[in-house]
Amino acid sequence: MTNRVGIFGYPLGHSMSPALQQAALDDCGLDALYEAWPTPPEKLEAAVNSLREVNCYGANVTVPHKVAVIGMLDRLDPQTEAIGAVNTIVVEGGEELIGYNTDIHGFLTSLSSQAGFDPAGKRVLLLGAGGAARAAGNALAQKGVRSMHIANRTVSRAEALAAELSGLGASADAIAIDSPELKERCEVADLIVNCTSIGMQGSSDEGRSPLPEGWIPGGCLVFDMVYNPEVTPLLAQAQKAGAETLGGLPMLVHQGAAAFEMWTGMSAPIDVMMEAARKAMAELTR
């Protein structure tokens, strides 16, 4: 019988996960189908429970369900519990639903393998305070960054995340994303990470950058988690400033590879997944 696996989110028009995961399943010779499951919030619990009723590996979870899904699972692994957001569900023994977050793995692997960047002792500016920022912040705290400034439209959310990361031993503070002081934080940053959807194709913020022109220093690394388009307005600004850049596609592939290995117990074919993601990106931008 064909195994099923898929992704919960709403809407799901821009998701690359079906293309890259199906390519991996096929490359490994597995009889499995990866599907997009557009699921509005009011139908999420029933959809999650249905994972127990079919021959199913599990699921990926994306916006807006990464936090809401937690109460629908049987347990979380400890790291995921600390982050407070789930992006992967594994069906254990055909009935137990376990929540994981592979974003930390995807984030750190991208930093090291794609950019050769070691966060230890570095000054970081995080843009955003949602689930993606929580994963990035936790990852950077683990790696011993020197300082983290968290900029967000809603300052109270940034303050809550800063307090949480300070509890992990990081030196973290919060700032409004439209504050004049943000320019000073940019100027001294070794790493700037966009954890928002600003600049994403198809979003209400398409074509925009989270930072004004001229704020990015030439000596830093700018990591934009947005993967569509591959060169976002923020990355274009960074390139113009002479900064190093890293787009969101490698993170998407590496977090997906970690999920694939949890579901199947097999090594993920990273190159195959990356090629499939790039092809899917090209299709989207036609």
Catalytic residue positions, numbered: 66
Contact criterion met (CB below 8 Å) for 35 and 56: no
Do residues 127 and 195 make contact, with C-beta atoms less than 8 angstroms apart?
yes
Beta bridge partners of 126: 150, 193
21 Cβ contact partners less than 8 Å away, ≥ 6 residues apart: 5, 34, 60, 256, 259, 260, 273
Contacts of residues 51-54 at CB distance under 8 Å and 24 or more positions apart, as own/partner, are: 51/89, 51/91, 51/97, 52/91, 52/94, 52/95, 52/97, 54/4
Do 234 and 194 meet the contact criterion of CB atoms below 8 Å apart? yes
Tokens 């307090």 locate to 163
CA distances from 19 to 6, 16, 108, 214, 276 (A): 11, 6, 23, 37, 6
* Whole-number Cα distances in Å, 107 to 92, 114, 203: 26, 10, 22
